[in-house]
Chains A and B, each alone.
Chain A
Amino acid sequence: KQEVTQIPAALSVPEGENLVLNCSFTDSAIYNLQWFRQDPGKGLTSLLLIQSSQREQTSGRLNASLDKSSGRSTLYIAASQPGDSATYLCAVRRGGADGLTFGKGTHLIIQP
Chain B
Amino acid sequence: NAGVMQNPRHLVRRRGQEARLRCSPMKGHSHVYWYRQLPEEGLKFMVYLQKENIIDESGMPKERFSAEFPKEGPSILRIQQVVRGDSAAYFCASSPYREQGARNSPLHFGNGTRLTVT
Contact = CB atoms under 8 A, between A and B. Distances in A.
Contacts of B13: none
Contact of A98 (B4, B41, B44, B55): B55
A106 to B, nearest CB: 11
Q: Select the residue from A36, A102, A105 with max chain B CB neighbours within 10 A.
A: A102
27 contacts: A31-B99, A34-B101, A34-B106, A36-B109, A42-B111, A43-B4, A43-B109, A43-B111, A44-B91, A44-B93, A44-B107, A46-B107, A46-B108, A91-B43, A93-B100, A93-B101, A98-B45, A98-B48, A99-B46, A99-B48, A99-B58, A100-B35, A102-B42, A102-B43, A103-B42, A104-B41, A104-B42
A101 interface: yes
A99 B111 contact: no
A43 B91 contact: yes
Bin chain B's interface residue count: 20 to 34
B58 A49 contact: no
Contacts of B107: 34, 44, 46, 100
A98 B91 contact: no
A31 B44 contact: no
Interface residues of A, number: 25
B103 interface: yes
B106 A98 contact: no
B13 to A, nearest CB: 19
A89 B106 CA distance: 14
B33 interface: yes
A49 B42 contact: no
A49 B99 CA distance: 13
Interface in B71-113: 91, 93, 98-101, 103, 106-112
B22 to A, nearest CB: 15
Contacts of A49: 101, 106
A4 interface: yes
Contacts of B93: 44
